[in-house]
């Protein structure tokens, strides 16, 4: 049974993470449409539509890339990943704010929004575990297929969309939605960093 990564496997996974974290056209398009689909899911009060937005969202990539850069103390890529993540979130927030401003339907009354806003403190624990699983999925050979499932569980896009909509039109849920977004981001980053640190320092040298 395989219990450790080799040096070669770790370096290959690292390059894959950093390459897929770049803001290319496909990355931008997926983020944009994930935001729109998620907002419409809130309007329709449809968990199925929101899950669809989570499936296509690539937001997990720059967070895992940032975690790896922190572990490697690579300041160049730390700066790059933070810039990508801020830009990604800006796209989501601006999209949600725009749609919220012009939407005739009040998503604040959505049952899904209400449930999200009720228990913000639980999101750090969920995000932390998913950060562990997401980083493991990226770095362990033949497990990357599970990353989409982890992305669904983490659900970064819905709280970001909810926060953007709150900033534009629903100020009473700004604090709760902002806390959920912050807890998701910090939980994933801490979990990913710890897992990558463990994988890196337990790997087989010169293999």
pLDDT tens for 33-75 read 989 998 888 888 888 888 878 777 778 888 889 999 999 999 9
91-136 pLDDT, tens digit per residue, is 999 998 898 877 766 666 666 666 665 666 678 888 888 888 888 8
Name the DSSP letter for residue 122: G
At 206 the pLDDT is 54
Residue 143 inside a domain? The answer is: yes
144 pLDDT higher than 70: no
At 118 the pLDDT is 61
Residue 178 inside a domain? The answer is: yes
CA distance 54 to 155: 6
Residue 207 inside a domain? The answer is: no
Residue 2 inside a domain? The answer is: no
Whole-prediction pTM value? 0.84
Residue 1 inside a domain? The answer is: no
> By CB neighbour count within 10 A (0-12 exposed, 13-18 middle, 19+ buried), where does 104 fall?
exposed
Name the DSSP letter for residue 16: H
What is the average pLDDT value for the chain, to the nearest integer? 81
78 pLDDT higher than 90: yes
Residue 145 inside a domain? The answer is: yes
């Amino acid at each position: 049974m395989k219990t450790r990564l080799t040096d070669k496997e770790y370096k290959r996974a690292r390059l894959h993470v950093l390459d897929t974290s770049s803001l290319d056209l496909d990355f931008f398009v997926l983020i944009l449409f994930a935001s729109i689909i998620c907002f419409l899911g809130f309007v329709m009060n449809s968990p199925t539509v929101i899950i669809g937005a989570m499936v296509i969202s690539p937001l997990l990539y720059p967070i895992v890339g940032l975690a790896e850069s922190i572990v490697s103390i690579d300041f160049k890529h730390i700066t790059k990943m933070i810039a990508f993540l801020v830009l990604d979130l800006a796209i989501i927030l601006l999209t949600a704010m725009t749609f919220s401003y012009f939407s005739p339907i009040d998503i604040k009354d959505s049952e899904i929004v209400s449930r999200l806003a009720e228990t913000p403190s639980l999101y750090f624990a969920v995000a932390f575990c998913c950060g562990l699983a997401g980083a493991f999925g990226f770095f362990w050979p033949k497990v990357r297929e599970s990353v989409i499932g982890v992305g669904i569980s983490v659900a970064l896009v819905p709280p970001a969309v909810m926060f953007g909509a709150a900033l534009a039109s629903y100020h009473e849920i700004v604090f709760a939605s902002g806390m959920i977004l912050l807890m998701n981001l910090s939980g994933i980053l801490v979990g990913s960093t710890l897992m990558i640190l463990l994988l890196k320092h337990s790997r087989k040298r010169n293999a």
